[in-house]
């Protein structure tokens, strides 16, 4: 049986007694994984993460972290958890070093950790530069340094790539992978974009309107996504192409100047292509259009 770093059972939450924002969330984050918590704006990601960090008081259900009840071992669990949630709390008038020094004193962790985490996040060269003069990417990396200063076993990050440019997103991804692999830290990271985290995560939970619609490995989600993909043929004569395909007892439609068909095995794709070409229809391109996350959400909800 898998060892869970975070496990919630029927976690349910509502703000001021109104309709539930979270409905029976059963989160299972395996130890050592990078878990992507995906959902559109307002789905309930931040609320879930705040509950896991004790920033909101749990109402129904249970939360276990490192195999222990959160309620009963709150401080011990939080000591082993690093987090970045909402805006990072950095002092703009201090340098990176000084910001970390303050926290090192609070945590009472070894002073060498400061150099170590600055190296990890690539901020050893900032010297006397004040944090207020940092770029957003640098601030974000410093916030990660703060989160890992106390050598946590679990890192909880709420949309850490928000506002970053494509380069910053790649840097953040590499940094988190490094921390996971080399420091053995389990990472729970939220995002509203599958494309932004699919090169990072090993596991995925999809939340929509407060319900967990899917939970599993990234490969499982991708295979669902592929099953729901469509094939598009760009041809020289769509009307004729449609007739040929239908003559072969296959179904297709014309959409946006392309012949669109349900996903099928590659041998069948080759067969359709052959039929079109042999009957004088030019085929300019064959492509797979993957459903975006929004469509997957809708399909998951309908199922
Ligand atoms: P986002 O990416 O936009 O932050 P999210 O998935 O993190 O989205 P949450 O912030 O958890 O979503 O919000 C879930 C729902 O709870 C939303 O409908 C939001 O309006 C509502 N909500 C959040 N905080 C409060 C609050 N303090 N009081 C009342 N409702 C709230």
Does 75 score more than 90 pLDDT?
yes
Distance from the CA of 239 to the center of ligand 1, in angstroms? Answer: 49
- 36, β-bridge pairs: 189, 204
Nearest ligand 1 atom to alpha carbon 159: 2
- What is the C-alpha separation between 303 and 297, in angstroms, rounded? 10
* Ligand 1 neighbours by CB, cut-off 6 Å: 15, 21, 39, 41-47, 192
Q: Tens digit of pLDDT for each residue in 253-279?
A: 999 899 999 989 999 999 999 999 999
Question: CB–CB of 9/62 below 8 Å?
Answer: yes
Summarize pLDDT for 21-42 with one digit per residue, the tens: 999 999 999 999 999 999 988 8
Atom of ligand 1 lying closest to residue 210 CA: 14
Closest CA to 230 of 260, 209, 252, 259: 260
Q: How far apart are the first and last CA of the chain?
A: 28
Estimate the crossing angle of helix 136-148 against helix 166-183, to 10 degrees: 10
* pTM for this predicted structure: 0.83
How far is CA 161 from each of CA 3, 20, 146, 190, 207, rounded to the nearest angstrom? 28, 28, 16, 9, 19
Torsion of CA 88, 22, 212, 49, to 10 degrees: 20
Ligand 1, atom 10, residue with closest C-alpha: 46
208-246 confidence digits (pLDDT tens): 899 999 999 999 888 877 777 889 999 999 999 999 999
In 3D space, the residue among 225, 216, 122 whose CA is nearest the CA of residue 178 turns out to be 122
Identify the structural domains of the chain with CATH numbers, from first to last. 4-224 (3.40.50.300), 230-291 (3.30.70)
Residues 87-107, mean pLDDT to the nearest whole number: 90
Task: State the closest ligand 1 atom to the C-alpha of 43, by its place in the atom list counted from 1.
Answer: 6
């Amino acid at each position: 049986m898998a060892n869970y770093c975070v496990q919630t059972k029927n976690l349910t939450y509502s703000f001021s007694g109104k309709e539930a924002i979270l409905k029976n969330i059963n989160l299972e984050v395996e130890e050592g994984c990078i878990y992507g918590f995906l959902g559109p704006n307002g789905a309930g990601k931040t609320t879930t993460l705040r509950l896991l960090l004790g920033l909101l008081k749990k109402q129904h259900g249970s939360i276990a972290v490192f195999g222990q009840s959160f309620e009963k071992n709150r401080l011990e669990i939080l000591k082993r958890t690093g987090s970045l949630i909402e805006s990072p709390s950095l002092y703009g008038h201090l340098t990176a070093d000084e910001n970390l020094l303050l926290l090192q004193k609070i945590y009472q962790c070894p002073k060498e950790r400061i150099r170590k985490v600055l190296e990890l996040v690539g901020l050893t060269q900032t010297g006397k530069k004040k944090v207020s003069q940092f770029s957003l990417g640098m601030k974000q990396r410093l916030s990660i340094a703060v989160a890992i200063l106390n050598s946590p076993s679990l890192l909880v990050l709420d949309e850490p790539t928000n506002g970053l440019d494509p380069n910053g997103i790649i840097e953040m991804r590499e940094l988190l992978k490094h921390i996971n692999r080399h420091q053995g830290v389990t990472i729970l990271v939220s995002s509203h974009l599958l494309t932004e985290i699919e090169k990072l995560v090993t596991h995925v939970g999809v939340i929509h309107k407060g319900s967990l619609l899917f939970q599993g490995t990234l490969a499982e989600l991708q295979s669902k996504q592929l099953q729901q993909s469509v094939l598009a043929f760009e041809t020289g004569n769509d009307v004729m192409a449609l007739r040929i395909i239908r003559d072969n007892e296959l179904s297709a439609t014309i959409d946006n100047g392309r012949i669109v068909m349900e996903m099928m095995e590659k041998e069948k794709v080759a067969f359709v292509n052959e039929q079109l070409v042999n009957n004088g229809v030019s085929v300019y391109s064959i492509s797979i259009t993957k459903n975006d996350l929004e469509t997957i959400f809708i399909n998951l909800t309908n199922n």
